[in-house]
Structure 1
């Protein structure tokens, strides 16, 4: 089985689909990058759900594959590993991770690439690389610290401990916890109600630079939207029907 992209009702579901635990081997990483780039450019995809299935989101890297790699091999591979995850971050549309079961190591790092994370009550998240004599290598040291703060990130990374869904919610590692059998439906519903737009790029670009540059990015997007049909439809609907009634194409 291979990761695949399924599109319905404007939502692209990026299914990892590598039984039994969605270990992220090199082939899966490369396919992940291809599918993220496809989702980014497809006009029929307005939002994306990253989903590992009912059993596990992704239990981490393929350790047996890594065992066969020496220093030289990993030096040659590490950039492609990070690029695969960054391709998910760079999808210019809302992305939600739907996590059931294990989301560990590379699986946790993949969840960090989403804009919003919905976890099942059975979810376990963490960065256990230290237990292998390693550190996170697919963005964990950078994205986790930016999401939950450096001290909380260091606790998880230094100890390698796993956290259950309720603690992940308290830490800010996930945004919502629901029964495990409702995770995908909740994620799809969250994604389906969102329209593609420039807000994500304005936020993400601003976070990567100083506030003055961020405000300039926001200003350019804000004024540019006054030339669009969406702006006309949204304001007309507000005036004529009240807030929250507009329907965008």
Structure 2
């Protein structure tokens, strides 16, 4: 029995590959497979970075419209809650997540990419949230995560028109962080670079930024103080500082957490 999501883990880096060609549409099976993958990643301390990938042709072109068209209010309420919660689990993974975007990342596909900490796109990739053209709105984090990236006005313009955004414009707007000829290889290389760093310090940076951005500055600073104090109890702190004192900066080799 095939699954629409493939999970591979090697050398501290996990690749979550959407595998429901041709468009990797989000239906109930895809949602459940992604939830299973998220649960595996959450439970594995050996994973230090994650790559989200849809294959060389298409990241994901959105929801299965045939399934959505058959839903009523009660159906969509439960289905959308489950998909939104699944996407949020990827956003809240305690390790860096890098999305490798090829082809189309539309609707739910773009919303999944927005859960990543970094997005690397092909030069011919196309992104967008076209739900308004179906008489609905983005429902899996798009209204919130896109706004935090590009600001209120631009987010409203993109969602109210539903227009497709070419890769270069997405880069200029800050929706993606880098363009690459082979986004997956670039994402994998970056993920390995991040995975070689101190896991708990990187986790603390992610938590400080993601949680602190919505706090008043005093609350964000308090969170930062708490996180840095906690890092002084980690082996990675001992390793990093001992290496600096003995060999200078940039020489530390960080191991797996105890």
The TM-score, its normalising length taken from structure 2, stands at 0.93
Residue equivalent to 1:52:
54
Q: How far 1:81 moved relative to its partner?
A: 1.7
- The answer to which of 96-105 and 64-73 deviates more is 64-73
Q: Deviations over 1:123-158 (max 9, x none)?
A: 100000011111101111111001111111111101
The 1-side partners of 2:183 and 2:94 are apart by: 23
Asked if structure 2 preserves the Cα contact closer than 8 Å seen for 1:10 and 1:192, the reply is yes
Distance 2:186 2:135 in 1: 37
User: Mean alpha-carbon deviation: is it higher for 63-72 or for 133-142?
Assistant: 63-72
Contact map agreement 1:40 1:93 (CA 8 A) in 2: no
Quote the residue 2:73 is aligned against. 71
How far the C-alpha of 1:29 sits from its partner, in A, is: 1.1
Please list the CA deviations of residues 62-95 of structure 1 after superposition, one character each: whole Å capped at 9, or x if unmatched: 1111111122211232211210111111111100
Question: 1:70 and 1:227 mapped to 2: Cα distance?
Answer: 52
1:228 — aligned with what? 234
1:22-33 alignment to 2 at 5 Å? 22-33=24-35
Superposition RMSD on alpha carbons, in Å?
1.1
Taking structure 1 as the reference length, the TM-score comes to 0.96
Runs of 4 or more above 3 Å deviation = none
Counterpart CA distance in 2 for 1:123 and 1:242 is 42
Stretches of structure 2 lacking an aligned partner (at least 5 in a row): none
Q: Which runs of 5+ in 1 are unaligned?
A: none
Distance 2:171 2:229 in 1: 36
Matched, 1:107 2:114: no
Number of aligned residue pairs: give it: 247
Out of 202, 206, 209, which is 1:200 matched to? 206
Residue 191 of structure 2: aligned partner = 191
SS of alignment partner, residue 193 of structure 1: helix
| Separation of aligned partners in 2, 1:215 and 1:4 | 39
**Residue equivalent to 2:249:** 243
Taking the TM superposition and a 5 Å limit, the aligned residue runs for 1:1-249 are 1=2, 2-179=4-181, 182-194=182-194, 195=197, 196-197=199-200, 198-249=204-255
